[in-house]
Amino acid sequence: MKKARRTIRKHFDEIINSFIYGFSNGPIEGSNNKIKAIKRTAYGFRSFKNFRLRILISFKNSFYSMNYKQKAADLNNVKSAA
């Protein structure tokens, strides 16, 4: 009981903030778990590029892939301008 009380006292501000703001690291933990599952089932990719593409495909409607599509479009625009 003393240990629980000490832990609550030590992290009191963080506990209160969790109720006030309601942020969660759940989505990030889910993303990490999905990436680890891809890595486990792949038995090793030939290159990092293939591994990265597999991750982007699995997150096709998320921020990661949208950011990748934008960067790819920017690279194509730079190449065509040169």
Q: Where are the chain's structural domains?
A: 2-81
Q: Are 59 and 65 in contact (CB under 8 A)?
A: yes
**pLDDT for res 31:** 87
**pLDDT for res 46:** 79
Share of the chain above pLDDT 70, in %: 73
Across residues 9-33, what is the average pLDDT?
A: 87
- Between 67 and 35, the more confident residue is 35
CA distances from 61 to 6, 16, 23, 58 (A): 43, 33, 22, 8
pLDDT reading at 64 higher than 60: no
pLDDT reading at 37 higher than 70: yes
Residues in the chain: 82
